[in-house]
Structure 1
Amino acid sequence: MRKHNFSPGPATLPQEVFQQAADALVDFNHSGLSIAEISHRAPEFVQVIEEATSLVRELYQLPDYFEVLWLPGGASTQLAVAPMNLLGLNDSMAIVDTGFWALRSIDAARELAQVHVLESASATHYDRIPKAWNLPADAKYLHVVSNETIEGIQYHEYPQVDIPLVADMTSDFLSKPLDVDRFGIIFASAQKNFGIAGITCVLVNTKVLPVNSDRKVPTIWDYQTHIQNQSLYYTVPTYPVYVALLMLRWIKAQGGLREMQNQSVAKSSLLYDEIDRNPLFEGIAVKEDRSVLNACFRAISPEVESQFLEYCSQNDVVGIKGFPTVGGFRASMYNGMAMESVQHLVQLMKNFKPSL
């Protein structure tokens, strides 16, 4: 029996995508070769990456001046690559401290430029997104972590600013429609909503790339390098790109990003309703900033928490334990999570009778 996997990443994918990916790992399109052994420059793989790019463009309705890049290295690499490409040696960027991944972004950017931390939610243990702050006049862009997976908070409305947004969307990429013109760079690694670990999708608004900069960007980290080479400057991990393609096809077949958003709202609403109703549990994030993808909650005592974790394990629910700095539980409900799994978890919460 397949388990209900609420892991924050690598995350569950639809069973049909796993099956298609498994088949291609053995024999890709009846070629007698595995997708993992086909050259990244072979016509068969070029078709794969071009279709994946085309689907990202279609789903987000990207204008022509946006480029879609497929890069190894994970989203954490982009925390440094984005400021490297957008900022001169004396430029600055701004960020709101919303939690773990915002802090990672601050540390990475500070190695390259001045960073204005506009506000922090640390005083309330990152249970909300700070919204009362002033933007410095010299900031070239505002970095946002669209969804903080560890603390379970999410931007449901992005800040209205007159500079580009650079967004780490690793955990909510392809989960809702976007007004992409507000963004300079969007990046997301693929182990949550649209594939398996090993590839990062980067959307580059070429209008924000500096024409002349006093910063010498190494060739390997220069967005222009990968734009000019159509993401084939070096060996792209072919299998993760192929699995991303399968997920993109699946997302389109389900109805696109609006339907992904509808499903996310429906799944998270079902779970949050039970969290708020059940006296054994309580939510961690303030309601208006709750993530629809990572529901973080806790039990009324450590004893109840350990008993519920064991109860979940006995009933085929895995990956629900919260991050060590937050504790409690975290139920991640990305695009590939079926409503039936959320219904199963909610029913377990209803049936659970701890020994108090």
Structure 2
Amino acid sequence: MKQHNFSPGPAALPESVLQEAAQGLLNYNQTGLSVAEISHRSPIFLAIIEEATALVKELYQLDDRFEVLWMPGGASGQLAIAPMNLVSKDERVAFVDTGFWAQRAIDAAAEICQIHVLASSSKSTYDHIPKDWTLPNDIKYLHVVSNETIDGTQYHTYPDVAVPLVADMTSDFLTRPLPMEKFGVIFASAQKNFGIAGVTCVILNKDRISEKMMGEIPTIYNYQTHIREQSLYHTIPTFPVYVSLLMLRWIKAQGGLIAMQAQSSAKSSLLYAEIDRHPLFTGNVHVEDRSVMNACFRGINAEVEEAFLAYLTQHGIVGIKGFPTVGGFRASMYNGLALESVQYLVDLMHSFK
């Protein structure tokens, strides 16, 4: 039975990408070597990482103000690395508490600098994005979680503020065009929309990176180090970068970010329409803030949820159970998930009694 993977990450990848990645793992471009065993400083790998970087710049239409870095590990590390690079311990950064990943960012930054929480939707179980707040004058940057993977909210427009935005964009990176002039730092790990776990892509606006921090933080965490070394200061995870390259090629071939945005809209609209129509289910989030990446919903009672989960499992739907602290269901619809899988899920929901 075909499995339809609605996992929040690691997420579904297109079959063509998986096939090419598998071949590269065995024998990359008929070199007789696996892409996972070549030197990260070899001409072979340099061509891979340079093309991946060029494609990120092309897809987002980045000019020379922006640097693209590839850093080992997940995006959680950037929750600390970004404030380490951008502010001193006595300076303040602001947050909007939109859910689980905003809380993680707040906790990480509190160990490094002064923090200010502008607003929170925690009392309503993160069912919306707070918008009624004022930014104090001494704030150095505003951290936003572009898409809350666990709670199912998403910024459809970004705040207009005088300071740069630092965006955790792990779950909606490369899914739509962006107003890049608003951002100082964007970071996203690959395992949702553009690859497999092990590498994080970081976009930096060089005008926003302060040289005053040079020497005040460990070399390994300094963005300037990785800019100078073109992401090769230490051994990068070569195979995850290669899979990211394959996904970037696939995104471009599909029509780029405008096409990804249209596909995301089609998939999420299809599913939300069924959630809103069905008498046994209800959405978790206010309509205007619903994520097109992670549709979070629940059954009208525990018995319905238990029966529906069993029904989906029997019919080849995987990865749809909600996060333990939230419950219910979470259908993740990243770039690699086909519209046909969403239609299949909707058909199952329609037939579920």
TM-score, normalising length from structure 2? 0.99
Alpha-carbon distance, 1:7 to partner: 0.2
The letter for the 2-side match of 1:225 is T
Question: 1:298 touches 1:327 (CA, 8 Å); kept in 2?
Answer: yes
Partner of 1:38: 38
Distance 1:81 1:212 in 2: 15
SS at match of 1:39: coil
Distance 1:250 1:73 in 2: 23
SS at match of 1:36: coil
Question: 1:89 touches 1:214 (CA, 8 Å); kept in 2?
Answer: no
Question: 2:187 touches 2:202 (CA, 8 Å); kept in 1?
Answer: yes
1:255-294 counterparts in 2 under 5 A?
255-294=255-294
Alpha-carbon distance, 1:214 to partner: 8.3
Alpha-carbon distance, 1:212 to partner: 1.7
Alpha-carbon distance, 1:120 to partner: 0.4
How many residues align structurally?
A: 353
Is 1:242 paired with 2:242?
Answer: yes
The letter for the 1-side match of 2:20 is Q
Question: 2:183 touches 2:205 (CA, 8 Å); kept in 1?
Answer: yes
The letter for the 2-side match of 1:144 is V
Partner of 1:323: 323
Distance 1:10 1:16 in 2: 17
Query: Which stretches of structure 1, 4 residues or more, deviate above 3 A after TM superposition?
Result: none
Question: 1:196 touches 1:244 (CA, 8 Å); kept in 2?
Answer: yes
Partner of 1:11: 11
SS at match of 1:37: coil
Where in structure 1 are there 5+ consecutive unaligned residues? none
Distance 1:113 1:136 in 2: 16
The letter for the 2-side match of 1:59 is L
Partner of 2:67: 67
Question: 1:89 touches 1:215 (CA, 8 Å); kept in 2?
Answer: no
Distance 2:199 2:270 in 1: 32
Distance 1:215 1:298 in 2: 50
Distance 1:77 1:299 in 2: 35
SS at match of 1:13: coil
Alpha-carbon distance, 1:90 to partner: 1.5
Partner of 1:186: 186
State the superposition RMSD in angstroms.
0.8
Moved more, 84-93 or 3-12: 84-93
Alpha-carbon distance, 1:73 to partner: 2.1
Partner of 1:131: 131
Partner of 2:333: 333
SS at match of 2:8: coil
The letter for the 1-side match of 2:19 is Q
Alpha-carbon distance, 1:211 to partner: 2.5
SS at match of 1:71: strand
Partner of 1:232: 232
Distance 1:211 1:235 in 2: 25
Partner of 2:342: 342
TM-score, normalising length from structure 1? 0.98
Q: CA deviation digits over 1:145-184, x for unaligned, max 9?
A: 0000001000000001010000000000000001111100
Distance 2:313 2:166 in 1: 39
Alpha-carbon distance, 1:97 to partner: 0.2
Identity of aligned residues (%): 67
Partner of 2:29: 29
Question: 1:168 touches 1:187 (CA, 8 Å); kept in 2?
Answer: yes
Partner of 1:116: 116
Alpha-carbon distance, 1:2 to partner: 3.0
Where in structure 2 are there 5+ consecutive unaligned residues? none
Distance 1:122 1:77 in 2: 24
